[in-house]
Amino acid sequence: MANSPTGDSGTDRLVRILDTFTPTRTVQTATEIGRRSGLPSSTAHRIVNELVDAGLLERDEERRVRIGMRLWELSTRSSQALRLRQAAMPFMERVQARVREHTQLAILEQDEALFLERLSSPESGSNITRVAGRLPLHASSSGLVLLAFGPSDLQERVLSSRLAPLTRATLSDPAAVRRKLAEVRRLGHAIAPGYIEEVSTGIAAPVRDETGRVIAALSVVLPRDAESDFAVVELHRAAGDIARSLGYRS
Amino acid sequence: MANSPTGDSGTDRLVRILDTFTPTRTVQTATEIGRRSGLPSSTAHRIVNELVDAGLLERDEERRVRIGMRLWELSTRSSQALRLRQAAMPFMERVQARVREHTQLAILEQDEALFLERLSSPESGSNITRVAGRLPLHASSSGLVLLAFGPSDLQERVLSSRLAPLTRATLSDPAAVRRKLAEVRRLGHAIAPGYIEEVSTGIAAPVRDETGRVIAALSVVLPRDAESDFAVVELHRAAGDIARSLGYRS
């Protein structure tokens, strides 16, 4: 991908275009993509046409553009995301069947919690998490697990950044987050009552590889004042089963 | 993405690189990617470096390259694949819990059946289907549903191409496939005994939108000689529930 006169590569332009699509903005015109990506309109139209020709983007009947099945296929079929969630699925299903609330798997990605999978049943309560969506490390139970057991430079970077509150319960003071991380390490799991939504409590446990490194967080979202002990036990059991299913001896 | 001297665009080169990653080839060196993509080695190394810098590819400890979490995220979070499988998941879980065999969701993509989801339990039998993997239309039960209820130009194109047998049971004669497609339309579902693997039978039912157009196939894989009636009933019920969950009135 040759560099453009402005010095950014074709790869940069591709990322800027793909980045304009979000969980709530799934269809756009080429003009909207140009505006949101900050690319010159003619450049955006040309690249969108190329991507449509290759099947990486698709047009609907109104010539609006969306992410193509071919791009999903190419980026999923060999991905670590797929390997991890396939190993986790049978145990996530067990957690979901027994706890009967949203059950989720997240990894650390660019200083946020990226959710690889979410299982829900119709009777589950409120939950803003989405597959391939993200939540802040300091606010979500999954994020607190990934942060508490993560590298110290990650902790320092996150604690020195702005810790935006999502609700009145979210910890937004670095000292309070630091105490919470110590609690997570002591308990072996994270409990985040009302941090993301006032009405719910997130509970997360770490999935570890053979060396003890935390590679993912398995979590459930319960109603705010629900009893958490049963969910904690199920999460720890499933996290161990996922690690073994990935071939890690415990 | 500017055109290269050979006339192919940056998008073409990107697709050629991504296409070298498969469900069974998840990690490669940049040199291997160059050879398998047919790109000049220096070009392949340069684009791989750009893609790694953007997070679309990732390097492991041995400097081998794999699909990046960032690419999976960008291509999944707004995709139709995700929307369809999220709507289908609760009903796929019900089928899997009741039939207790592999349960799968496929769509038509480039004249093949592309699998968006697969649920399996440890006790399920043999199954070569993979998430984001494909199977031929004439051989798989999902493919036969997508073909039987698909546009006539698709049927003519597939029936005039080589119908490769995967087992001794696969229908590879155009007249036999045509009769099978008539049977699928008459029954309302497809039964493919031993077509993909000698030891198993695929059963698939169509998921239809409001206009009656088939948008996906829901399937299970049973041991070859298992009774199919219960699975057929569960598949039809779940296919209707998925359509309603997508907002289609039946």
CA distance B191 to B197: 13
Instruction: Answer yes or no: is A217 within a domain.
Output: yes
Which domain-ending residue is among B75, B104, B122? B75
Contacts of B47 in chain A (CB under 8 A): 1, 11
A138 and A68 co-located in one domain: no
- CA–CA gap between residue A234 and residue A160 (Å, rounded): 34
Could you tell me if A30 and A98 lie in one domain?
no
* Residue where a domain stops, chosen among B23, B50, B75: B75
Residue A219, domain member (yes or no): yes
Percent of chain B at pLDDT exceeding 70? 96
Number of domains in chain A: 2
Same structural domain for residues B57 and B90? no
Domain that holds residue A204: 80-245
For residue A201, being part of any structural domain is answered with yes
Percent of chain B with pLDDT over 90: 88
- A166 shares its domain with A87: yes
Q: What is the pLDDT of residues B23-76, one digit of tens each?
A: 899 999 999 999 999 999 999 999 999 999 999 999 999 999 999 999 999 999
Q: Report if residue B5 sits inside a domain.
A: no
B26, B89: one domain: no
ipTM of the complex: 0.91
Q: How far apart are CA B234 and CA B215, in angstroms?
A: 18
The CB-based long-range contact list for B224-228 (8 Å cut-off, 24+ gap) reads B224/B193, B224/B194, B224/B198, B224/B199, B224/B200, B225/B201, B226/B201, B228/B191, B228/B201, B228/B203
Cβ–Cβ contact B72 with A under 8 A: yes
In a domain, B1, yes or no: no
* pLDDT band for position A6 (cuts 50, 70, 90): very low
Q: What is the pLDDT of residues A47-98, one digit of tens each?
A: 999 999 999 999 999 999 999 999 999 999 999 999 999 999 999 999 999 9
CA distance A188 to chain B (A): 26
CATH number, domain containing residue B172: 3.30.450.40
Nearest to B69 among A18, A53, A109 (CB): A109
In terms of domains, do B126 and B180 share one?
yes
Tell me: do A33 and A141 sit in the same domain: no
pLDDT of residue A205 exceeding 50: yes
Do B216 and B248 meet the contact criterion of CB atoms below 8 Å apart? no
**Residue A229 confidence class, pLDDT cut points 50, 70, 90:** very high
Q: Using the 8-state DSSP alphabet, how is residue B52 labeled?
A: H
Structural domain includes residue A238: yes
Q: Summarize pLDDT for A100-129 with one digit per residue, the tens.
A: 999 999 999 999 999 999 998 766 777 888
Question: With 80 as the cut, is the pLDDT of residue B233 above it?
Answer: yes
Confidence of residue A8 (pLDDT cuts 50, 70, 90): low
Min distance B148 CA to chain A CA atoms (Å)? 21
Residues A200 and A134 in one domain: yes
Shared-domain flag, residues A43 and A103: no
Among A75, A92, A125, the domain boundary falls at A75
Query: Does the CB of A169 have a partner CB in chain B at under 8 Å?
Result: no
CA distance B116 to B108: 10
User: Domain containing A68 — which CATH number?
Assistant: 1.10.10.10
Whether chain B has a CB inside 8 Å of the CB on A155: the answer is: no
Question: Would you call B244 an interface residue with chain A, using a CB distance cutoff of 8 Å?
Answer: no
Over residues B216-228, mean pLDDT: 96
Q: Across the interface, do B110 and A55 touch by the CB < 8 Å criterion? A: yes
| pLDDT at residue A250, rounded to an integer | 66
Residue A109 in any domain: the answer is: yes
Gap between the Cα atoms of B131 and B88, Å rounded: 14
Q: What percent of chain A lies above the pLDDT cut of 70?
A: 96
Note whether B86 and B54 are same-domain residues: no
Say yes or no: B84 contacts chain A, CB-CB below 8 A: no
Digit-coded pLDDT (tens) for A145-167:
999 999 999 999 999 999 999 99
A39 contacts: CB under 8 Å, gap ≥ 6: A13, A16, A17, A47
